[in-house]
């Protein structure tokens, strides 16, 4: 009994401390602005890193959000409303996917088309039609990125596209000249395939610094997305826009807790901030593995 009491006290202290950190450093989001969801892989294949969601759970999540009265915006609608001064409020969602895996064409596109739900995909331009060898494999089969032919067909069916860099490099670890190169060649490559301006950028791993933000602006992007920026949630920065990430550990009902207004919003955000912080290990471990292979 004493052990249970001690554990209860420790958990209470940890939760109270976590809430205090959230309240002081991040706080609730600004009112009246549409929110953004971020998914990665939609697949029934197990992934050690956890950035996946099964197809059944994904569509169940979308159906629940529709049932609860949420409305999905396309890219143009979101860009017009993102500062919270024009049109849609918090019941409006912008649905985004990082990396651009082939399951978006084979699974997501038909399912969302049947529901009339628009979505936006951030592509890694140099990996179009290739396996995601930029990622840690951890002994599993790689995932294939969308081909340019699949991108063209999706664009013709109303899907919009942005840049996720040319090679999915951590832009905070590159010289500024390399950052500019990543952003400009990716934008140009995607525009040449979709025949429309690439207006938005998603920072690989959600990571950026002030020079990266300026490079994004100078490259012609109208907005850039992180996941959980370091600034307070009430502050809006069009080159460091906050998104709610959804992972395999998030059951359908919990996704709503990620959205502003839920009592569990703070807890869900701190959980996802911890998960996203761990993503920095991907390029570090990947580079270490490459150096080991070259040195063997």
Distances (CA, A) of 137 to 49, 62, 113, 141, 145: 9, 29, 31, 7, 15
Q: How confident is residue 276, by pLDDT bands cut at 50, 70 and 90?
A: confident
Predicted pLDDT of residue 10: 53
Rounded Cα–Cα distance for residues 245 and 242 (Å)? 9
- List the structure tokens of 109: 């596109």
Alpha carbons 188 and 185: distance in angstroms, whole number: 5
* Alpha helices per DSSP H over 160-257: 176-194, 210-218, 252-255
250 pLDDT above the threshold of 60: yes
DSSP 150: H
Distance separating alpha carbons of residues 265 and 256, to the nearest angstrom:
9
Cα separation, 7 vs 288, whole angstroms: 39
Label residue 55 exposed, middle or buried (CB < 10 Å: 0-12, 13-18, 19+).
Answer: middle
Q: Which residue has the higher pLDDT, 282 or 105?
A: 105
**Domain count of the fold of the chain:** 1
Range of the domain at 15: 2-295
Percent of the chain with pLDDT over 90: 62
CATH of the domain at 38: 3.20.20.370
Q: What is the pLDDT of residue 28?
A: 86
pLDDT at 289: 42
Give the pLDDT mean for 153-168.
98
Long-range CB contacts (within 8 A, 24+) of 54-63: 54/248, 55/103, 55/107, 55/111, 57/251, 57/252, 58/108, 59/111, 60/252, 61/246, 61/252, 61/255, 62/95, 62/111, 62/112, 62/115, 62/117, 63/115
pLDDT above 70: percentage of residues in the chain: 84
CB atoms near residue 147 (< 10 Å): 14
Q: Which of 5-9, 73-77, 122-126, 169-173 has the lowest mean pLDDT?
A: 5-9
Cβ neighbours around 155 below 10 Å, total: 17
What local confidence, expressed as pLDDT, does residue 291 receive? 41
Mean pLDDT of 223-228: 96
Q: Would you place residue 294 in the very low, low, confident or very high pLDDT band (cuts 50, 70, 90)?
A: very low
What does the pLDDT average to over 280-286? 56
Q: Which residue(s) pair with 120 in the sheet?
A: 96, 160
DSSP secondary structure code for residue 172 in this structure:
G
Identify the bridge partners of residue 162 per DSSP, sorted by sequence position. 122
**In terms of pLDDT, which residue wins out, 194 or 267?**
194
Residue 47: pLDDT band (50, 70, 90) is: confident
Asked if residues 226 and 203 have their Cβ atoms less than 8 Å apart, the reply is yes
**Dihedral (CA of 6, 11, 14, 17) sign:** negative
Confidence label for 111 from pLDDT (cuts 50, 70 and 90): very high
User: What per-residue confidence (pLDDT) applies to 2?
Assistant: 65
pTM: 0.90
> What is the tens place of the pLDDT at every residue in 131-152?
999 987 665 678 999 999 999 9
């Amino acid at each position: 009994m004493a052990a249970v009491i001690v554990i209860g006290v420790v958990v209470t202290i940890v939760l109270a401390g976590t809430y205090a950190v959230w309240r002081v450093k991040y706080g609730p989001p600004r009112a009246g602005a549409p929110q953004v969801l971020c998914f990665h892989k939609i697949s029934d294949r197990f992934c050690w890193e956890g950035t996946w969601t099964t197809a059944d759970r994904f569509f169940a999540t979308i159906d629940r959000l529709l049932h609860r009265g949420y409305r999905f915006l396309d890219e143009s609608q979101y860009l017009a409303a993102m500062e919270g001064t024009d049109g849609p409020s918090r019941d409006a969602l912008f649905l985004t996917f990082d990396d651009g895996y082939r399951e978006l064409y084979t699974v997501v596109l038909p399912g969302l088309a049947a529901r009339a739900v628009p979505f936006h995909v951030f592509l890694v331009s140099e990996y179009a039609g290739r396996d995601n060898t930029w990622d840690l494999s951890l002994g599993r089969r790689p995932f294939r990125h969308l081909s340019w032919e699949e991108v063209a067909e999706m664009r013709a069916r109303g899907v919009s596209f942005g840049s996720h860099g040319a090679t999915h490099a951590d832009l905070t670890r590159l010289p500024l000249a390399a950052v500019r190169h990543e952003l400009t060649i990716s934008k140009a490559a995607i525009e040449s395939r979709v025949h429309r301006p690439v207006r938005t950028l998603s920072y690989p791993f959600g990571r950026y610094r002030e020079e990266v933000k300026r490079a994004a602006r100078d490259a012609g992007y109208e907005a850039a997305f992180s996941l959980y920026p370091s600034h307070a949630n009430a502050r809006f920065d069009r080159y460091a826009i906050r998104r709610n990430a959804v992972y395999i550990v998030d059951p359908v009902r919990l996704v709503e807790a990620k959205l502003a207004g839920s009592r569990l919003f703070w807890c869900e955000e701190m959980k996802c901030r911890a998960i996203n912080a761990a993503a920095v290990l991907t390029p570090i471990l990947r580079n270490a593995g490459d150096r080991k292979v070259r040195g063997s």
